[in-house]
Amino acid sequence: MKTRTLGRLGPEVSALGLGCMGLSFGLGPATDRGDAVRLMRDAVERGVTFFDTAQIYGPFTNEEVVGEALAPFRDRVVIATKFGFDFDPDGKPTGALNSRPESIRLTTEGSLRRLGVERIDLLYQHRVDPAVPIEDVAGTVRELIVEGKAQHFGLSEAGVRTVRRAHAVQPVAALQSEYSLWWREPEQEVLPVLEELGIGFVPFSPLGKGFLTGKIDETTAFDAGDFRNTVPRFAPENRKANQAVVDVVRTMAARKGVTPAQLALAWVLAQRAWIVPIPGTTKRHRLEENLGAVNVELTPDELREIDAATSTIPVQGHRYSEASQRMIDR
């Protein structure tokens, strides 16, 4: 497995990480715990050293299963988790954001316990909380780093102004946001600022929430608990219109002798040397397929052809529900 370093100050990790959310949250019924543990351990044996979870996934159960799976490999892996959502006294999510310093401290202690670790390698703010100055958030994480409870600070779905303000207080190792051939907005402002500041980029949904694999069309029925049912971009009429993007990926992949998923991931990897995508999966054969993308080399001519073919296709539908869209900092 090839490795990459997240920015100038971040950790060295496998070139492809594993997004663990779908193992217990967001895609219907949770994966059997034993199967989830085996999948993550298979990933480690195949060279994956970067695993992404969050408090809200479950909530909490995802951190627990990640902690169990990775306990035998603690010295070989980098674990990222996220704070920033509010929970009631019974531990149920309220649906609100909460990055008050006292909440960061309290919920981070919970993450440490569930993950079974003394230090969180990469601690993200999951969503920017407009009620709490980002300087207070960064300062609190800085204190946790000094105390040895966290090693690196990250932001998720933060806009460039927020990134600059946070970075001035505590260096940001990585920004996590959606990025793929299906969502290229980060190229406009985010990537140039990250390059300037020496911050790594961790794209989630690099396969367009599964759409770029070519396995989803307008007739696909998702499980009742699958969050894609709430995403406008996945409305049947939009899936039908957006097949044009998949057609380009499928054609290029066939010519290259790889799968559409491998081509889509290879494209993301080719954009910057400090980009580390975290595709998620619940299946071993998909894990192996995704990891094969690390060895797919796209030539400059191929990259230009992909850009030319996809740049003229208008993608239909928003990537979040209206409620989730309001939590995005831009």
| Residue 48 to residue 69: CA distance in whole angstroms | 13
State the chain's maximal CA–CA distance in angstroms: 56
Catalytic one among 57, 124, 179, 320? 57
57 noted as active-site residue:
yes
Ordered DSSP codes for 125-157 = ESS--TTS-HHHHHHHHHHHHHTTSEEEEEEES
- Spatial CA neighbour of 63 closest among 50, 48, 79, 75: 79
248 contacts 313 by C-beta, under 8 angstroms: yes
| Residue 298 to residue 302: CA distance in whole angstroms | 6
- Strand 85-87 versus strand 93-97 pairing type: antiparallel
163 contacts 133 by C-beta, under 8 angstroms: no
Is the dihedral angle over the CA atoms 262, 266, 268, 273 positive or is it negative?
positive
3 state SS of 162 = helix
Supply 157's token pair. 């779905």
180 contacts 174 by C-beta, under 8 angstroms: no
Which positions are annotated as active-site residues? 57
